[in-house]
Each structure stands twice: as C-alpha cells, then as structure tokens.
C-alpha cells in the first residue's frame, strides 16, 4: 500500500513536529519538542521511501528530479495551501532515497506562551544598531527573533528584510513590508545578500547568522549607517560573544572593531532551553542592554570586567543567566537541580537558593 505523503505531512503539523525523517529500514520518524520519536513499528522499504520522495517532488510543482538522481542531494521548499510550508532535503544513503522535511510554520509563536519576557520584545523599539541573540544550536534563537520581528511588523511601517538559512517562520505583511530571502535558494550567500539588501531601502535586517568577519564587518557598517540589525551567534553569554566577534578579525583591525562595536551594539540576549517541572523545554535568558559604562568597557577591551558586572547585576538594564534561573526556580517552574545544572556559577547560585 502506497503511503499518502500529504496525509503524513498533515499528521506532522498536527503533532507540532519540527522535522519528519523518511529513511529506509526505519519507521517514519518525527522530531517533536526536540526529541525524535517513531510513528509506528512498520519499517520503510526502499520502495516506500522512493514513493514518498517522488510524491514530494510532485507536490513541489512537479519539480525535476534530475539533479537529485545525478548528484544524490537536493534542497528545495514547497507549500501546501492551508497546511504549512515545507523545506526539503532529499539525499541518497546506502543507495536508497531518503528525505528530511522541515516544517515551516505559518502561525508565529506567541512570546507569552513560550515564556519570552517583554523586555526582549521591547528591543523591537530600537531605531538602529545591532542586537545579537546567542546560544547553542537548537536553543530557540530563531523563535525569539521571529517574535521580535513580528512585533516590529505589527507596530511600525518599515521595510524588514530577513536573510535566513533555512526560513523557519513566515511573516505576512502587516504594518511593515517583510521580504524574506532564503540563502542558497533566493540568493548565494549571507554576505552577498546583506550587501544587496542595503540597496533595497531596508529599515530592519535580520541576518540569520554572522559566520565570518566579512559578514560581521558589513553588518556593523550597516548598523552604523542607521539600520537596525538582528543576528545570531553560537556563543553563550554577552562577554564571550563580544570576545568572539573581536577575535574573528585580524589582530591589526581588532582595536578599530572594538571601537565600532562599542558604538553600534544595543543589546545581547543569550538563551538556553531548560527542562521545566512538567517536562516541557522552557527558555531562560541573560539580557544585557548596552549602557554607556558597557560601551566604554567594550571600547577599551575590558571584556573580563564585563562578566563581573553581568554576574553581580540584580536586574534593571542587565539580567544574568543565574538570576533568570533563580526566578524560574522560585516560581516553581524548574527544579533546584536543573537551575544548578544550567548555571554559570553554580556555587554562588546555590548560596542564593
């Protein structure tokens, strides 16, 4: 019996899965809340996987399978009206066709339900500068950024350009115009797209990732010339984020970059996902809004002092990771063990608890 791919995708959307895995020798599997689960015990045969992959190419407007058959890899996106948009990575493994399907949601996340504080959503009110969201892969950075972009879209008449790889959330035009470009699909690379976007009269640019110093340089210059830039880095904590940016540049440019960064940086948000008492994953944040004192520290390259300021802060402009964990613990959302396991300074946090 041939599996119905549309029905399979409907099930995945209903289950709020982020990815669907179709691999021969395994049952259909889905990633739900970060965990991969098998849908049943029926293992897919090479015939099943090839049938599903062929159906996907049909759904994607009868896309030509030639590239895939010749090279063994193909990436593309397609939509099913009224259901969702899907990003597909088809590949061959052990000579059989396989595919991983990423589900791109039409409905945007609700910051209140996810536990993203209003403090972070308020960064949508900046008119220019650089805002960084940092954390490990899968810590929810894209989701946080989608919420901020959504707030700008609802409250301001601006041109927002997002450069992402892959697109994870679709924004409908509201007060703003939202142009969403996917790297490798709509444009060649981050740096090419970023340079081009500066000629497209943007007010806000969301840059999926700052991968190299060229991209960072263009992003900082864009922030300096009056644009609001949002981007991500895989670092944890504001101090290591600033270090990381400066370190990417050649030594003879580092002082100049520190000066430039001290002028354009507006805020650094660091986040991790931690298990709550009811076994969901909830985000916890360190928030550093850049104050005049912090600007001086970045300019004079006194980054180690920055760590001290963040860890000793009790709120206001700066909220440390540990004080966010302490709040979640006091509210009964996480256990003491979880708080200490994810803390920057577990001994200090233990005393406060």
- 280-292 core/surface letters (b: 16 or more CB in 10 A; e: else): ebbbbbbbbbbee
E-state strands within the chain:
17-22, 29-32, 35-38, 73-80, 84-93, 96-104, 129-134, 159-164, 177-182, 204-207, 228-233, 265-275, 281-289, 318-319
Structure tokens at 275: 């298990």
pLDDT tens by residue, 257-311: 999 999 999 999 999 999 999 878 899 999 999 999 999 999 998 988 998 888 8
User: Does residue 1 register a pLDDT over 60?
Assistant: no
pLDDT tens by residue, 254-266: 999 999 999 999 9
Structure tokens at 118: 């209003």
Residues 6+ apart with CB under 8 A from 291: 317, 318
pLDDT tens by residue, 91-120: 999 889 999 999 887 778 899 999 999 999
pLDDT tens by residue, 116-175: 999 999 999 999 999 999 999 888 899 999 999 999 999 999 999 999 987 878 898 999
pLDDT confidence of residue 2:
66
Three-class SS state of 206: strand
d(CA 157, CA 170): 18
- Whether omega for the bond prior to residue 176 falls within 30 degrees of 0, making it cis, is no
d(CA 295, CA 225): 18
d(CA 317, CA 121): 14
Residues 250, 222, 148, 328: is their CA dihedral positive or negative?
Answer: positive
């Amino acid at each position: 019996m041939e599996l119905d791919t549309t029905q399979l995708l409907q099930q995945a959307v209903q289950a709020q899965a982020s990815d669907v895995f179709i691999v021969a020798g395994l049952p259909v599997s889905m990633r739900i809340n970060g965990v991969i689960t098998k849908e049943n015990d029926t293992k897919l045969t090479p015939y099943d996987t090839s049938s599903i992959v062929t159906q996907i190419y049909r759904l994607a407007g009868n896309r030509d399978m030639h590239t895939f058959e010749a090279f063994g890899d193909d990436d593309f996106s397609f939509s099913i009206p009224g259901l969702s948009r899907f990003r597909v990575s088809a590949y061959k493994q052990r000579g059989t066709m396989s595919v991983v399907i990423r589900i791109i949601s039409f409905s945007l996340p609700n910051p209140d339900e996810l536990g993203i504080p209003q403090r972070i959503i308020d960064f949508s009110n900046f008119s220019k500068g650089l805002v960084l969201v940092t954390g490990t892969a899968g810590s929810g950075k894209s989701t946080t950024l989608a919420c901020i972009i959504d707030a700008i879209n609802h409250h301001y008449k601006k041109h927002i350009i997002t450069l992402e790889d892959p697109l994870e959330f679709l924004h409908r035009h509201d007060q703003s115009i939202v142009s969403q470009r996917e790297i490798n699909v709509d444009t060649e690379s981050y740096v090419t797209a970023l340079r081009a976007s500066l000629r497209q009269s943007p007010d806000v640019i969301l840059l999926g990732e700052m991968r190299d110093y060229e991209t960072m340089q263009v992003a900082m210059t864009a922030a300096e010339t009056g644009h609001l830039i949002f981007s991500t880095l895989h670092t944890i904590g504001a101090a290591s984020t600033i270090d990381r940016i400066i370190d990417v540049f050649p030594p003879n440019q580092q002082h100049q970059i520190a000066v430039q960064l001290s002028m354009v940086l507006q805020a650094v948000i660091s986040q991790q996902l931690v298990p709550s008492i009811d076994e969901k994953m909830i985000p916890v944040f360190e928030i550093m809004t850049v104050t005049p004192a912090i600007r001086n520290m970045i300019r004079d390259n006194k980054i180690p002092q920055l760590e001290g300021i963040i860890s000793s802060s009790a709120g206001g402009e700066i909220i440390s990771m540990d004080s966010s964990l302490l709040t979640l613990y006091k509210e009964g959302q996480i256990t003491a063990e979880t708080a200490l396991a994810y803390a920057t300074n577990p001994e200090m946090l233990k005393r406060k608890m």
